[in-house]
Structure 1
Amino acid sequence: MPRCPALFVAAPASGQGKTTVTAALARLHARQGRTVRLFKCGPDFLDPQIHQFASGQPCHTLDLGMCGAADAAWRLAAAAETADLILIEGVMGLFDGQPSGADIARQFGVPVMAVINARAMAQTFGALAHGLATFQPDLPFSGVLANHVGGTGHIELLRASLPPGLRFYGAIPRDAEAALPERHLGLLQAGEITDLGQRLDRIADHLAATGAAELPPLVEFPATPAPVVPPLLSGRTIAIAHDAAYGFLYPANLDTLHALGARLEFFSPLAGDALPACDAVWLPGGYPELYATELATRRELWTALSTHVTAGRPVLAECGGMMSLFTQLRDQSGHVHTLGNLLPGEVVMQPRLSALGTQTVTLPEGDFRGHTFHYSKASTSLTPIAQATPFSTRRHGQAGEAIYRQQRLTASYLHLYFPSNPVATARLFLP
């Protein structure tokens, strides 16, 4: 049974700084020569990019709903075999969602450290920590880290407010120069933050003086073999768009394609790359709306993609990838752009979130789990071949995402999690 020091970094809510703290902890230990493996709870493409930069290792998703307990178990066991430290970042608040981050920490026995934004807070810090620690008595809650603190007097007030038995991991001062920049979907992508290393180093230096810098306790992760994936895509090449406009890729999805035997050929539409010689194409999600002016000039690429589809070859276009293929894309400023023009209809950016949550869908190729998260709405004359079903019925009546198909082009706002059905994934990329 593999054993490895592990810590679950949680918070009472979003916006407390747990992503920054998790990444900076990884940076701190990586600087000391340790191999750090990071995981992110819940569907997310942005935080894992930051974590991969900090640790130099791919950051995988843990989600008991979308990914499943078996998927989480074998990934954690595999990481424990080679890592010196495992860090798991929670999602939203510790108990938010069903299943929640707390459910993952409890299932795998990983001690929880909660990051609390202590700005404008004194003794209430202790009350909040007490509530997090005792709300679910069987949770392996360890202690708290205070973020955005003032001087030493503020730190002592926070420390003294904690009830007996709760560990005070320390405090991080307010540091505007270390804050990670954001936009409408969350943090900027790692490649867009030119001084990301310096920002993480600043927080890592702050953490070096706290108890959070110490290795957490060893956690035993039951030995769990990886699933066997048949090489159904052996000898086939999949071209994958990958740049600032199309950056939303689960490392687990790429691993699944490799396990299926596919050869992956990455190209950058933004850089003006031609469509590589390939058997299938994957246009993942991202921010095509931010780069629509540049992408609209890539006529050779879109013509080649149209020829590819006309020839009956597969394309998977997810969220931003699908947005790129409609007749029109209307950006946040109201400007209209024509990119791929392979699907009839229009996509319009919205001022508020349009859809969020994990969903399941049954396609002709098989059943998939995935998630949706977007600020745009699409209108089209196409008839969906399938409609996804949200995991939760508490999304205020939110409907599942439509999946469209023209020849072998499959398009949807839904981001599929390929490990949920590797065989069906192979069928998506076969003629």
Structure 2
Amino acid sequence: MSHSRAWCPVVLVAAPASGQGKTTVASALARLHRRAGRRVQAFKCGPDFLDPFWLSLASGGPVHSLDLWMNGEADCARRLQQAASQSDLVVVEGVMGLFDGQPSAADLARRFGLPVLAVVDASAMAGTFGALAFGLQHYQPGLPWLGVLANRVGSERHAQMLLDGLREPSTWLGALPRDGAWTLPERHLGLVSAQELPDALARLDAAADALVATPLGQRDLADATQWPRWDGPGLIDPAEPVAPRLAGRRIAVARDAAFCFIYPANLDTLQALGAELCFFSPLSDEAVPACDALWLPGGYPELHAQALAANPAMQASLQAHVAAGRPVWAECGGMMALFDELVGVDGQVHAGWGLLPGRVLMQKRLAALGPQQWDTGAGVLRGHTFHYSRCETALQPIGHSQRPNQAGPTHEGEAVYAQGSVRASYFHAWFASAPEAVARLFLPAEAA
């Protein structure tokens, strides 16, 4: 298929709430066209590490976040424009419900003219489906609309009842039956990552096969009459060049089942800063690779606490790295593993790496969620927080993140800790928001 055309089908997959099946439908649509040999670029609205695993498996490429606040409008525009110029289909998965959050998926759709596909779990409704579809489409004026797809439908008769309830039958894009073959399992932080399931691709193929039978699945990407025209965000300024502050420096990045919450854009930013990247597994490797600095991203240390504690060689290697004064940036799960102890929800105590004093306690209730920004003194890093644990430590924070557009002690977000060459926080940073600040995290104090 030619990629020189002036338009590209774009769809934003949204829903009235979380848990309706957005990820399943967005991934199925991407997989359907990817396995037919077409170029598909997928994105995820807002800060998220889990849904992108599925979208990446389905589309065959990296999945970046699109968030009007965290990325900024210009960054979102550049990413969308580049994707549309290189793809046969662009799929953007929304976040929570269509109008939830500030900014919401609807805000993104309206700003860039992204046609919305609403996925509705219709398993326990009939005529009300039509009211919900109508409300989603018309609640905000000027929302671009593709149509509505019913999910978890019980039978063909049920699907017909749902279609009959639509005020605008032309917006019907089909129904997917309730079927365990493509159900995506969940746990406390959200969906189970695609990497953990040996049958992950089979699940996506089953969902894509089901989508083939729907009007959505039968739309021809090459036929401009079957898709709302999308010409891109218009003229946008090029990104400012990034000074290569990390040139000649090698950064080791932890990446395995315990430490897997990594924005691809963060890796891009480190490379734009001039860093050479290498990857290692704290679960299975015996030592940190030869490097100048270390990034311990978030993930699930609580699910792998026993295995981490059973690898004393890695602990000794990490301690030697810190003893040599080499920088460490640890966020959320990466920070949790640095404390003396990690206590599970069941009360079981696991030994940590002992690089920060204190302990981390898992809990069933969500401890923090939402966008955050941290003024590092060398720039304001934007990002978010999302965790089910708390830490008890004698360390005094060197600073705190803040909620967006708010300041002062009453709006303090996550503590930022420092001990020796270690900097750590529950705060997940979007590196592209302040590259100079990121460079300083990975430079020794005398060079920063």
Q: Report if TM-score (shorter chain) is over 0.5.
A: yes
Q: Which residue number in structure 1 is paired with residue 96 of structure 2?
A: 92
SS in 2 for 1:159: helix
**CA separation in 1, counterparts of 2:240 and 2:160?**
50
Q: Give the SS at the match of 1:391.
A: coil
- The separation in 2 between residues aligned to 1:3 and 1:361, in whole angstroms, is 39
Does 1:248 pair with 2:258? no
Query: Is residue 71 of structure 1 aligned with residue 97 of structure 2?
Result: no
| Aligned with residue 14 of structure 1, among 15, 18, 26 | 18
CA distance in 1, matches of 2:383, 2:272: 19
Provide structure 2 residue ranges, at least 5 long, that are not aligned to the other structure.
Answer: 222-226
What is the CA deviation profile of residues 167-207 of structure 1, one whole-angstrom value per residue up to 9, with x for unaligned ones? 10100011012101111101111110110111111110111
Q: Percent identity?
A: 57
Aligned equivalent of 2:224: none
Q: Say how many residue pairs are matched.
A: 428
Deviation readout 1:216-267 (Å, 9 max, x if unpaired): 3341112543442222111110000000000000010011111111111100
C-alpha displacement of 1:67: 1.5
What is the CA–CA distance in structure 1 between the aligned matches of 2:169 and 2:106, rounded to whole Å?
19
Q: What residue in structure 1 maps to residue 163 of structure 2?
A: 159
Q: Compute the displacement of 1:391 (Å).
A: 2.3
Q: Distance in 2 between matches of 1:293 and 1:164?
A: 55
> Which runs of 4 or more aligned residues in structure 1 lie more than 4 Å from their structure 2 counterparts after TM superposition?
none
TM normalised by structure 2 equals 0.93
- Of the three residues 140, 148, 167, the one matched with 1:144 is 148
Match of 1:202 in 2: 206
TM norm structure 1: 0.96
In structure 1, C-alpha distance between the alignment counterparts of 2:277 and 2:422, rounded to whole Å: 18
Give the CA deviation at 1:2.
6.0
1:412 aligns with 2:416: no
Q: Equivalences for 1:26-425 in 2 at 5 Å?
A: 26-164=30-168, 167-213=171-217, 214=219, 215=221, 216-221=227-232, 222-224=234-236, 225-391=238-404, 399-425=412-438
Structure 1 runs not aligned, ≥5 long: none
**Is the Cα–Cα contact under 8 Å of residues 146 and 228 in structure 2 kept in the other structure?**
no
SS in 2 for 1:228: coil
Report the Cα distance in structure 2 between the residues aligned to 1:365 and 1:279, rounded to whole angstroms.
21
Give how far 1:271 is off.
1.3
Q: Give distance in 2, aligned partners of 1:331 and 1:119.
A: 36
Instruction: Evaluate the alpha carbon distance shift between residue 376 and residue 398 of structure 1 in structure 2; reply closer, same or farther with a 3 A threshold.
Output: farther
Q: What SS does structure 2 have at the residue aligned with 1:286?
A: coil
Answer whether contact 1:240 1:281 (CA < 8 A) is retained.
yes
> Quick one: which amino acid aligns to residue 198 of structure 2?
T
Partner of 1:115, secondary structure, is strand
The offset of 1:375, in angstroms, is 0.3
**Deviation per CA, 1:120-160, whole angstroms, max 9, x where unpaired?**
21100000001101100111122100001122111111111
The range that moved more, 215-224 or 371-380, is 215-224
2:27 aligns with one of 18, 23, 29: 23
